[in-house]
């Protein structure tokens, strides 16, 4: 076993989350207790290294990610340690034997984190529970806030007509509601603040917790003394507003790993293995090794990368290339995991393990792209970094100053609490969400769904838009080009036979079908169909099937039709561009954006579509990994690329893009990986989305400026004793109202944009 490097590990020695967000002891969250044998979960790589995937429990922030990667990387034999914060997956690769896995588990435990063998279908269980707990706390705080505010209104409006005893009674009722509410609903903030303080750190939850606890303590004191003013309403309302933001953030973090989870669900969990003795057995896909012979029946997804030994069939390659046209494969051809056998049964030989096959690689690429996005620091987070030390310092100095000047503990405490309340980050916290809510509502009316909280900020920086071709700029559905060159009766015969097939080109002929009698249909693997149609002998498929020497050297997809002994006819098909594709590209270019197209289709086909749409930058024959690499290059160049795609093969590129968009009709995985979804399959809403994102970014900057300006005015008043906690609570609410009203201006300033798009 390798030894730990004490110097490097000391940099990360503080236990748990550096930001104090982990609030459960490691002993409770670590299901291993550092004793579970992990060797069965270790895999050997082609380079002779060992590798294991673990789910890390207790990781919450970028600080956790850095701490874990550095801590595990400090083990002498470890070559790489990479963590995905979206799915909580840690992949470690090392030299030596498999028993080194226990050292990794022990290291994680010493760092303050739990670990277990990675299962992507269960990796979000903890976050789902956290989200539900926050929702319950928010509901309790909201209910209590309504009731305490009603009691406060009664006190305020009672005036001289209400006696001191009645005032005190209403204050005690408020306390009976507020104090249990604060104890229950405030736990997420209190635990986080306490964990941060134990680690000799501070975070945003420390001043929040102080403000809530001190406001409640002061209110209890004022109630006991029979004084007229209490601040239970301020404490509970503050808690409710902050829980809303915390819940939305938790839901966002839960959703960030959705694309990777959907891809994992697509991976085949079992396969049929053919032993040398002739015995057929069903085995888990993870147990398949290179050299194993497998049987792939028609209709089954392929579990691992393999080479065909016998059989010929049509394969749906859309997941790998994006092409909707089925491709014929035979002995010696290579098939990739995730593709689907749609023709005849095949016997294949595995050339890679399940974890090293194509679909696993796609999953890894998506996770890597999602992790890069999770490193994005929102503008509000940047503004909040200076907030905590400033607020703590000002409140402490206020208390000390008033103790020196007047020596009255109650007055000093009142003014210090007023500083904490008046500077509570409601305006700062609402500055961004308020704009996002308004912008998301306007985008929804424009046919755009916003999926993540930081999507608009990233979308606003876009300088380059990169489109996939098939299913994005084109419809993904084929149309017959040369219908006029063929007799209607011939097309009816072809359509009658085509109804027996699910091939995309065959489906394009269904519109020409009639009630002709079809008999004796034979499916010739990899070539097409033959049958008797109303007494005619008909063959429909490849050039080889009808006796032609070769396929035509054309840029369009084609299929051959031969009726009886007549000369074969070539039917040409094309994937039509979307009706609004050209206008969308022109609109994006008018916004000063560079537009490109990347596709897995043949270069000649891609060039035709690019010429039709007025695109000067287009590239064909691009694999999913190459798409991702090109997008990463654009990011390095400072182009902030927006990727637009629809297929499973586009998911890595969508995850890697600085921002991303997908059509509503896209594959589930692509919709999950995208930041925004274009409803109604309309590309024309994309320029609108970018326009609104840019306007929203301006409103965010304005709101943050207003929030900071408010504090510059309010803090001196609170420090000098001109503001008590009640007025501080009102001022705090007023600042939140101001940033909300400013966010609503986004609707008015972008109204002309929506009118241009026909949106009310």
At 362-407, the pLDDT tens digits run: 665 555 545 544 444 455 555 555 666 777 788 888 888 888 887 7
Topology of domain 6-119, CATH: Alpha-Beta Plaits (3.30.70)
Report percent pLDDT > 90 for the chain.
Answer: 8
Q: In the prediction, which pLDDT does 31 show?
A: 40
Q: Which of 48, 26, 251 is nearest to 133 (CA)?
A: 251
Quickly list H helices, 256-377.
258-266, 318-321, 358-374
Q: In the prediction, which pLDDT does 260 show?
A: 47
DSSP 5-33: -HHHHHTT-S-S-TTS---S-HHHH-SST
* DSSP-derived secondary structure letter, 343: S
Tokens of 518: 């079809």
Instruction: Evaluate if residue 4 carries a pLDDT over 50.
Output: no
Task: Please confirm, yes or no, whether 287 is among the known catalytic residues.
Answer: no
Q: In the prediction, which pLDDT does 429 show?
A: 59
Higher-confidence residue of 34 and 220: namely: 220
Q: In the prediction, which pLDDT does 61 show?
A: 60
Q: In the prediction, which pLDDT does 674 show?
A: 79
Q: In the prediction, which pLDDT does 463 show?
A: 94
Query: Each residue of 307-350: pLDDT tens digit?
Result: 999 888 888 776 665 555 667 888 888 888 777 787 778 899 99
Query: Each residue of 111-140: pLDDT tens digit?
Result: 777 777 765 444 455 566 777 888 899 899
Sheet holding 474-480, edge to edge: 474-480, 569-577, 557-563, 536-541, 528-533, 518-524
Instruction: Give the mean pLDDT of 401-419.
Output: 81
Instruction: Give the CB-side neighbour count of residue 427, counting CA atoms within 13 A.
Output: 31
Q: What is the CATH number of domain 437-474+577-689?
A: 3.40.50.1000
Phi, psi dihedrals of residue 33, rounded to the nearest 5°: 55, 30
d(CA 251, CA 131): 6
Q: What is the pTM of this model?
A: 0.57
Q: In the prediction, which pLDDT does 748 show?
A: 61
d(CA 453, CA 444): 15
Topology of domain 476-576, CATH: Calcium-transporting ATPase, cytoplasmic domain N (3.40.1110)
Q: In the prediction, which pLDDT does 3 show?
A: 36
Instruction: Evaluate if residue 419 carries a pLDDT over 50.
Output: yes
Instruction: Evaluate if residue 258 carries a pLDDT over 60.
Output: no
List residues bridging with 642 in a β-sheet.
465, 659
E strand spans, 167-285: 270-274, 280-284
Instruction: Give the mean pLDDT of 556-584.
Output: 85
Instruction: Evaluate if residue 569 carries a pLDDT over 90.
Output: no
Contacts for 356 with CB less than 8 Å, ≥ 6 apart:
46, 305
Instruction: Evaluate if residue 259 carries a pLDDT over 50.
Output: no
Determine contact, residues 582/590, Cβ cutoff 8 Å: no
d(CA 719, CA 397): 9
Query: Each residue of 192-231: pLDDT tens digit?
Result: 788 777 767 666 677 778 878 888 888 888 888 887 777 7
Neighbours of 537 (CB within 10 A): 13
Q: Reply yes or no on domain 268-357 having CATH 2.70.150.10.
A: yes
The one catalytic residue among 233, 305, 468, 601: 468
């Amino acid at each position: 076993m390798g030894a730990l490097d004490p110097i490097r590990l000391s940099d990360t020695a503080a236990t748990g989350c550096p930001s104090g967000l982990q609030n459960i002891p490691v002993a409770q969250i670590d299901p291993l207790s550092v004793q579970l044998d992990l060797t069965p979960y270790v895999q050997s790589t082609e380079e002779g290294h060992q590798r294991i995937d673990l789910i890390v429990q207790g990781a919450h922030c970028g600080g956790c990610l850095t701490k874990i990667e550095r801590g595990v990387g400090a083990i002498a034999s470890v070559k790489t340690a990479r963590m995905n914060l979206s799915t909580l997956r840690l992949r470690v690769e090392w030299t030596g034997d498999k028993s080194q896995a226990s050292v990794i588990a022990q290291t994680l435990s010493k760092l303050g984190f739990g670990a277990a063998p990675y299962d992507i279908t269960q990796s979000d269980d903890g976050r789902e529970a956290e989200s539900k707990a926050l929702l319950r706390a928010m509901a309790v705080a909201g209910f209590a806030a309504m009731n305490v505010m009603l009691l406060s209104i009664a006190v305020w409006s009672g005036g001289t007509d209400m006696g001191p005893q009645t005032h005190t009674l209403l204050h005690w009722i408020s306390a009976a509601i507020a104090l249990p509410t604060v104890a229950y609903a405030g736990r997420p903030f209190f635990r986080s603040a306490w964990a941060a303080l134990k680690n000799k750190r501070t975070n945003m939850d420390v001043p929040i917790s102080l403000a809530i606890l001190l406001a409640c303590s002061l209110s209890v004191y004022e109630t006991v003394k029979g004084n007229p003013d209490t601040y239970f309403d301020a404490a509970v309302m503050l808690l409710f507003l902050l829980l809303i933001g915390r819940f939305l953030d938790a839901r966002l973090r839960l959703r960030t790993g959705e694309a990777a989870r959907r891809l994992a669900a697509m991976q085949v969990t079992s396969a049929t293995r053919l032993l040398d003795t002739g015995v057929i057995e069903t085995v888990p896909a993870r147990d398949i090794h290179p050299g194993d012979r497998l049987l792939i029946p028609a209709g089954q997804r392929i579990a691992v990368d393999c080479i065909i030994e016998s059989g010929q069939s049509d394969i749906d390659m859309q997941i790998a290339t994006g092409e909707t046209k089925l491709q014929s494969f035979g002995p010696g051809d290579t098939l990739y995991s995730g593709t689907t056998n749609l023709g005849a049964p095949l016997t294949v030989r595995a050339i890679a393990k399940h974890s090293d096959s194509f679909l696993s690689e796609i999953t890894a690429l998506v996770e890597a792209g999602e992790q890069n996005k999770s490193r994005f620091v929102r503008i509000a987070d940047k503004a909040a970094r200076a907030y905590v030390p400033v607020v703590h310092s000002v409140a402490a100095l206020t208390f000390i100053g008033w103790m020196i000047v007047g020596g009255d503990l109650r007055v000093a405490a009142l003014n210090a609490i007023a500083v904490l309340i008046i500077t509570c980050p409601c305006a700062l916290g609402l500055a961004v969400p308020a704009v996002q809510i308004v912008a998301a509502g306007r985008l929804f009316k424009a046919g755009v769904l916003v999926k993540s909280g930081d999507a608009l900020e990233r979308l606003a920086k876009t300088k380059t838009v990169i489109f996939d071709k098939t299913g994005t700029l084109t419809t993904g559905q084929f149309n017959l080009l040369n219908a006029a060159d063929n007799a209607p009766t011939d097309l009816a015969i072809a359509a009658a036979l085509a109804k027996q097939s699910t091939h995309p080109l065959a489906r394009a002929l269904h519109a020409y079908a009639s009630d002709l009698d079809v008999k004796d249909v034979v499916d010739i693997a990899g070539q097409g169909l033959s049958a008797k149609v109303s007494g005619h002998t008909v063959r429909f498929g490849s050039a080889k099937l009808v006796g032609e020497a070769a396929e035509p050297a054309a840029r369009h997809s084609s299929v051959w039709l031969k009726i009886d002994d007549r000369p074969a006819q070539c039917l040409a098909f094309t994937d039509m561009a979307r009706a609004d594709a050209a206008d969308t590209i022109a609109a994006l270019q008018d916004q000063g954006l560079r537009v490109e197209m990347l596709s897995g289709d043949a270069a000649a086909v891609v060039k035709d579509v690019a010429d039709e749409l007025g695109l000067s930058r287009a590239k064909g024959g691009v694999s999913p990994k190459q798409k991702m690499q090109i997008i990463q290059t654009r990011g390095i160049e400072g182009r902030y690329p927006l990727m637009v795609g629809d297929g499973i093969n586009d998911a890595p590129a969508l995850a890697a893009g600085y921002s991303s968009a997908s059509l509503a009709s896209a594959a589930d995985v692509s919709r999950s990986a995208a930041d925004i979804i274009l409803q109604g399959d309309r590309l024309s809403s994309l320029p609108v989305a970018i326009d609104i994102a840019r306007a929203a970014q301006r409103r965010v900057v304005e709101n943050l400026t207003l929030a900071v300006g408010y504090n510059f005015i309010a803090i001196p008043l609170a420090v000098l004793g001109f503001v008590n906690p009640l007025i501080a609570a009102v001022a705090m609410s007023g600042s939140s109202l101001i940033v909300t009203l400013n966010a609503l201006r986004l609707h008015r300033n972008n109204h002309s944009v929506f009118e241009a798009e026909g949106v009310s």
